[in-house]
Structure 1
């Protein structure tokens, strides 16, 4: 006892309170996300959505924040190694993001399986193969294996694709939850007609819109995760003058189906 206070009992009480707090934190009770962190990640998303380095003013406009606040977030991202500023003053992502993207696929047990799927698709079709995911209002290519042909579709990792006209975009929308479609529509994003998406689900494959003049053609099929949600779109693309849409569609549908079955695992 010290001054009438039972020190061991007080220490025990504090320890129990700390443990209770830790339990609440662990299970997400009474813990709110850091708004400053969310706004910093928003700035990172803005830069990631641009095909070219960006000015501070453009980043602030897209993030809907004051320049001073955005500049502080950029300083944080630069210090953390996610963003770099060029000699021209423009901001761009660092290559660190690529390593994290690769590790994300590896941790989800997708790296090897998707890599082998792309290699097989190129071998079967003779055309370039890629994986695309839904990222906000666009599809983005996250992995790609090029054909050996000299004439090829020039779409690189990181390329962002319209959802309404591309094979990848149509697949990702056709199998997206209704809530996702509703949010995109409310945001003014152009979506394919409902009957087209229903046809895609019926066929299990989507084709890109014919361009004018025609240059690149593509077909895509969905890869599903163990829960049955569309994880990504497996796509075969090539020059319009050479592209055999029927042969590539059959190959992409078959390979995507097999990868989905592997991810699903044995059925009990």
Structure 2
């Protein structure tokens, strides 16, 4: 994996190109391969700072259909728990054989969420295919979320008796209300792209066939706004940062459950 020391870079399954002052981040690899690599995470968190300091007006992060999927999530949980777990054959997890891996997952999710929330420019998530609980929460930290027609939000944490991570219990009630959020947080389940749109969890459902181009078109329109205007609006809108930090302190108590 090449060291990331500039806004534009190219690694296997992860790359960034600046297009019309938008940093377009493409992800096509199992997200856990990156999330559990501390050296890579450190570089990516610093990469946010590079974008912040540049003339780029925002980030468009686009994932391919397998990136956030349940198969990858089950593979990670199997390794961390020491159990033979697949999406078709889930198992209750009461402890983690490799607690260090679980700790890295939770802590890095927190770090990325903080970085996105504190980012003073536009951050847009473009999601295709399946996305599991931890990354649903992560995506809700974005300013805008676009999904393709095949996208399914899988709240699979309940299948493994794990608390919903990725700050999902913090963000989800802000979008759909406490009562409806509790249904998904406790019972789990799945949310289709159209259902997510109706619930105001996503901003638009775009065609799968030319998803990348449509996302980029949407991003270009949004990023025409002045940076001063965006910074002021985000500062006023994201006035829950202290509350989020307190939530993370609380979630740290449930790191291994």
What TM bracket, shorter-length normalisation?
under 0.3
Superposition TM-score, scaled by structure 1 size:
0.23
Pick the structure with greater CA Rg: 1
Structure possessing the higher relative contact order (Cα contacts under 8 Å, 6 or more residues apart): 2
